[in-house]
Chain A
Amino acid sequence: MGRKVDKKTVAETISELSKNLIDKNNGILLGQCLTAVGWVQNTIPKQTKGIMELPMTDTAGAGIAVGCALAGSRPVLVIRYQSFLWLNSSPIVMHAAKAKEIFGYDCPLMIRAIASESELGQGPLHANAYHSIFAHMPGLNVCSPMTPMEYKKVWNYYIKSKKPIFVSEHRSSYKSSYEYKDEINKSADVTIFGVSSGRINAIKAHNELKNQKIKSSFSNILWVKPLKISKKAIDSLKKSKFGIVIDPSYEFCGVSQSISYELTKLTGKPVYAMGLRERSPGVAKRFENGTPSKNQIIKFVKEKLNL
């Protein structure tokens, strides 16, 4: 499912980058219970310097982070579960995202929003990815790094750009040190694009399709907005019969549908969206609503290819 190039995991990389931001780039980490047990899945450096424990006040907390940015700091707002974004969103989209466009000044803010899979009883609150709603708003760049190298690229971009950036993280990536790469088959029948944790299942499906002698290509999407897709992947789609976009957020009006539409406009090929079904996930296994699985993707591909 990839290649191991760095012994550091994603969590260790985030922690190390955070420490550098605090020590060398006037950074500050803000969030609730950051220094509590687990240090947010070991993504927070184990120190008190540069770490601001916010009170349990989500909306005001995000506003405080915006204030830190306007005062010249480089804040990183950590949202432990993406469901909490519903409370945190207004200062992010109303001030940070609009600041440059409306006021003409920078509001450099990184939002580390942590998504989680609908499994192991995570239930309706803790198992969600909501990056689609943030991609909807002008002024916010949205990405979903899943590897240490991708995280470093995102972090460097944040340091240099001064733009607010929404980083949709996924818990399933934290213990991994693998680097995913595009796997392009010049005569693919299907090109599969993966976003966030959708990449894990997408590449599993791609490998299984290969085993079954079905020609497919796989492409990683790191940057959702602005959307960045490799030229080789676009060329692959142009030669394919169709494409699919796999994403762990809700399908309707979501990132998977939007990217599919963009790819269809670009290539003229039908591109299908596979995201979450329209229902809240539940605690019991029968109520799970996870990222489209390897088997679901394979089934869909075979149906479209009449196999």
Chain B
Amino acid sequence: MSKNFRSPNYNLIKNIEKKVDKNTILRIFSKMSRIRYFEKKIKETQISNPKKVMALLYLSLGQESVSASVSEVFKNSYVLAQHRGHGPYLSFGGDPIKLIDELLGLKTGCCGGKGGSPMIHDFKKKIIGHAGLIGDHVPVATGMSFIKKKEYFVCFFGDGAAEEDYVLAALGYAATHKLKILFICDDNNLSVLTPIKDRRNWEITDVAKSFGISSVDISDDPWNIYHWSKKLKQKLPALINIRTCRDTWHVGTGTDGKPEWNRFEITKKKLKKIFSEKKIDQIENKEKLWAEKLIKKRLQKL
């Protein structure tokens, strides 16, 4: 069986734009812009002065739509993400000052400057830190959910982590105990630089289904992600595998050329057709200015 999983419109629902509230999609775009310009500014700062941003950077650039869309459905939920966690952190209301301070190694960072980019957390906002080993937060999420049965949980992991035995075991555990967790696989097709086709011949959605977990495989269209997050919230535990594109390397600011598709630009173009060009530019510029101002201000603390 040969499927073209790697497509910006993979399993896209026809006219999905009409099924999502307009204010919701604007908030999602606002979050996407926030993540994008926060990270662009951080990236720019590290390139121009690596001594200021010393941390190993794991950027969410290119994957902004995933957490931005899910966060609009799973408000006030517990969130466990892994090393590429700036996006989920900002989407779910993590304190941006504590994030930038962490990347700058300041005492006021969310880990006091000790954890850096992959270990960010905001415990008060229910965003739990990642210890560093890929996927090891998935069993942690299931353990937390087992105790806090009334709460909702969102657990982000990558297509590489999906191959970890303990991730699969944790999915089975969540299914057995019918835990209220939405598992999101940020599938950028790469484990460092090794594509999925060289690593496995199975899909995480098939594995999830075999455990009895509701599961869908889609591209990173924000309308589609929002739609499925909302639908699957009623059928937890559930898993969404989201085909997305990583702009930068596994770690650091480098790139391997243009990504397969640019979700941010695609979304912007669609939004400009629905709303006015001016409105969308305003949202984007507002977040751009916010990020530039914030990071400039925090750099003065060094």
B139 at the interface (CB under 8 A from A): yes
Q: Indicate whether A68 sits within 8 Å of B146 (C-beta atoms), given known contacts A94-B131, A103-B115.
A: yes
Residues B198-213 near A (CB distance < 8 A): none
Decide yes or no: A103 and B139 within 8 Å by CB, A60-B169, A64-B170, A67-B146 being known contacts.
no
Judged by a CB distance under 8 angstroms, whether B5 is at the interface is no
| Shortest distance between the CB of B80 and any CB in chain A (Å) | 9
- Contact residues, B58-103 vs A (CB, 8 A): none
B169 adjacent to A59 (CB under 8 Å):
yes
Number of inter-chain CB pairs below 8 Å: 111
The A74-96 residues at the B interface (CB cut-off 8 A) are 90-91, 94-95
Tell whether B111 is near chain A: CB-to-CB under 8 Å: yes
Contact A64 B139 (CB under 8 A): yes
Cα distance A67–B139 in the bound complex, in angstroms: 7
Given the interface contacts A57-B169, A67-B141, A104-B111, does A73 sit within 8 Å of B131 by beta carbon? no
Taking the nearest CB of chain A, how far is it from the CB of B196, in angstroms?
A: 22
B216 within 8 A of A: no
Residue from A63, A68, A90, A99 with most neighbouring chain B CB atoms (10 Å): A63
**Shortest distance in angstroms between B217's beta carbon and chain A's nearest beta carbon?**
23
Hey, which chain A residues are within 8 Å of B146, CB to CB?
52, 64, 67-68, 71
B140 at the interface (CB under 8 A from A): yes
Q: Mark A99-127, 1 if CB is under 8 A from B, else 0.
A: 10111110000000000000000000000
Q: In the complex, how many angstroms separate the beta carbon of A263 from the nearest chain B beta carbon?
A: 32
Residue from the list B110, B137, B138, B147 in contact with A68, Cβ < 8 A = B147
Interface contact B129-A99, CB-CB below 8 Å = yes
- Knowing A68-B146, A103-B121 are in contact, say whether A61-B139 is a contact too (CB < 8 A): yes
Closest to A67 in B: B143
Q: What are the interface flags for A19-30 relative to B under an 8 Å C-beta threshold, 1 for contact and 0 otherwise?
A: 000000000100
Contacts of A95 in B (CB 8 A): 131, 136, 140
> Could you write out 9 A-B pairs with CB less than 8 Å apart?
A55-B169, A55-B176, A57-B166, A63-B136, A63-B138, A63-B166, A64-B140, A66-B143, A68-B147
Q: Kindly state whether residue B8 has any CB partner on chain A within 8 Å.
A: no
Given A60-B166, A99-B129, A103-B119, output 9 extra A-B contacts at Cβ < 8 Å.
Answer: A63-B166, A66-B140, A66-B143, A67-B141, A69-B143, A71-B143, A102-B111, A102-B114, A103-B115
Q: Does B240 contact A (CB under 8 A)?
A: no
Number of interface residues of A (CB under 8 A): 30
B140's partner among A67, A98, A105 (CB-CB below 8 A) is A67
Question: How far in angstroms is the closest Cβ of chain A from B179?
Answer: 10
- A71 adjacent to B147 (CB under 8 Å): yes
Q: Report yes or no: A73 in contact with B147, Cβ–Cβ below 8 A.
A: yes
B30 part of interface (Cβ distance < 8 Å): no
Note all chain A residues with C-beta closer than 8 A to B138.
60, 63
Cβ-defined contact, B142 with A67, below 8 A? yes
Shortest CB distance B16–A (Å): 34
- Those of B258-281 within 8 Å (CB) of chain A: none
Contact B173 A57 (CB under 8 A): yes
Once the chains are docked, how many angstroms separate the CA of A98 from the CA of B133? 13
Q: Which of A67, A99, A104 contacts B147 (CB 8 A)?
A: A67
If A65-B143, A70-B144 touch, does A102 touch B115 (CB 8 Å cutoff)? yes
Residues of B within 8 A of A (CB): 110-112, 114-115, 119, 121, 123, 128-129, 131-133, 136-148, 165-167, 169-170, 172-173, 176
Is A94 a contact of B133 with CB atoms below 8 Å? yes
Q: A99 vs B130: C-alpha distance in the bound complex, in angstroms?
A: 10
Question: Does the CB pair B172–A103 fall under 8 Å?
Answer: no
A97 vs B42: C-alpha distance when bound (angstroms): 30
Q: Which residue of B lies closest to A70 (CB)?
A: B144
CA distance A61 to B136 in the complex (A): 11
Q: Which B residues are CB-close (under 8 A) to A70?
A: 128, 140, 143-144
B165 touches A55 (CB 8 A): no
Q: Is A72 an interface residue (CB 8 A)?
A: yes
Contact B143 A63, beta carbon cutoff 8 Å: yes
Instruction: Compute how far the CA of A228 lies from the CA of B6 in the bound complex, rounded to whole angstroms.
Output: 59
**Nearest Cβ on chain B to A162's Cβ, whole angstroms:** 14
The 8 Å CB contact of A59, one of B128, B129, B165, B172, is: B165
Contact A64 B143 (CB under 8 A): yes
Inter-chain contacts of A103 with B (CB < 8 A)? 110-111, 115, 119, 121, 123, 129
Q: Which residues of A contact B112 (CB under 8 A)?
A: 104
Q: Are B140 and A94 in contact (CB under 8 A)?
A: no
- Whether B139 pairs with A94 at a CB distance below 8 angstroms is no
Task: Establish whether residues A94 and B144, one from each chain, have CB atoms under 8 Å apart when the complex forms.
Answer: no
- A181-215 CB mask vs B (1 if < 8 Å, else 0) is 00000000000000000000000000000000000
Which residue on B lies nearest to A56, using beta carbons? Answer: B169
Residues of B within 8 A of A64 (CB): 139-140, 142-143, 146, 170, 173
Give the residue of A59, A67, A91 whose beta carbon is less than 8 angstroms from that of B144: A67
Residues of A within 8 A of B133 (CB): 90, 94
Distance of A21 from chain B, by nearest CB (Å): 15
CA distance A69 to B123 in the complex (A): 14
Chain A residues near B172: list those with CB within 8 A: 55, 57
